[in-house]
Amino acid sequence: MTRTDLPVVQLLERLDLALYESRDGRLLGDAPDWLTELAPEASKGSLEFDDDALPILGDFLGQARRFWQDGARGRLRSGPFVETDARGRGHALEATALRIDGRSLLLIERLGEDYELAVANLQTARENLLVQEELERIVARRTADLREREEELVYRLIRAANLRDNETGAHIRRIGLYSAALARALGWPAATVDDIRLASPMHDLGKVGIPDRILLKPGRLSEDEMAVMRGHTSLGAGILEDSRVPAVRMAAQIAAGHHEWWNGEGYPRGLAAEDIPECARIVAIVDVYDAMCHARSYKPAFPEDRVLDYLRERRARQFDPRLLDVFFERLPEMRRIRELHPDEGMDTAG
């Protein structure tokens, strides 16, 4: 140590700083206590930079050496960082590479306990955030698994009902997609849109309880037979009610209400207007649209123009006028659904 270094050393000790000279690989003056906690060899005036002691400072020293070799002017700052001692305590530091009178110096400053506490809090918050993100991923995976099981159960129920009916699998898919598209256009939340996509295909589930002689009769039904057929709404609601699954609860509302009319002339309860659940009013529109546009063994497909005229004629009578207007606004989307999910071997309306 030179005589000119003595004032510098005294200042360092007073300010709780450490100064390392790259050429000699030694500290100027005595190491402060916090530095010996991080690197015990500092008590002898030397420092070792490796993965066990001062790894972040060692990485910055590599940058500082390039800075010194380039002969750059000014100083190079590390920015705040934290080194951990053998007891696991973190020390907030900042280093500055300097070149003074041809000497390559590294000034190491402890930022203080307040800063260390702030850094520790930030680190804890970050770790908590990572844990929260992982928990959210786990919940999302489990929710998706549960939704998949619900969907499988629903479609097995629908397949069982279709074994006794003339409806096609494509019709069932289209009803779900039409209903979801219309609900989305109405501003429903995404989760509820998904519920109606899953619930609406169950609208005719009650047909499993209708005798074959009526359900499969090719001709016009008598008044008594029609009364029995209309009972599929209540039968379906009875099968689906009291579920803890939101989509199944919605399906019960749809099963009970998709044949109710806006003006109160529908069945089974003669509900009118807003007393009919909105999900049922949606399915009432898309079910008629799809059924008329597609051929069945007992009828041909009607031209779409005729189907749309039929819907318009029943605006504010059978169908909710507001929902019907939105349906017509979304007609291009409805047509795309029909095109993407056609009945196999069946004609559709043009």
What is 50-72 written as a DSSP string? SSSSSHHHHHHHHHHHHHHHTT-
Active site residue 207: yes
Whole-number CA gyration radius for the chain: 38
Give the tokens for residue 262. Answer: 């806006």
Separation between Cα atoms, residue 108 and residue 79, nearest integer Å:
11
The Cα-based distances of 285 to 8, 109, 116, 328 in angstroms read 87, 74, 65, 11
Q: DSSP labels for 91-111?
A: EEEEEEEEEETTEEEEEEEE-
Question: Do 29 and 13 form a contact (C-beta atoms < 8 A)?
Answer: yes
Structure-block tokens of residue 52: 């066990």
Token representation of residue 152: 């499988």
Residue among 110, 88, 167 nearest 343 (CA): 167
Q: Residue 185, class by beta-carbon neighbours within 10 Å (0-12 exposed, 13-18 middle, 19+ buried)?
A: middle
Q: How far, in Å, CA of 124 to CA of 118, rounded?
A: 10
**Pairing verdict, β 81-84 and 103-110:** unpaired
Given the structure tokens 């519920």, which residue do they identify? 195
- The residue annotated as part of the active site, out of 44, 207, 217, 299, is 207
Interatomic CA distance for residues 21 and 238, integer angstroms: 86
Closest listed residue to residue 104, CA positions, set 36, 26, 35, 7: 26
Residues designated as active site? 207
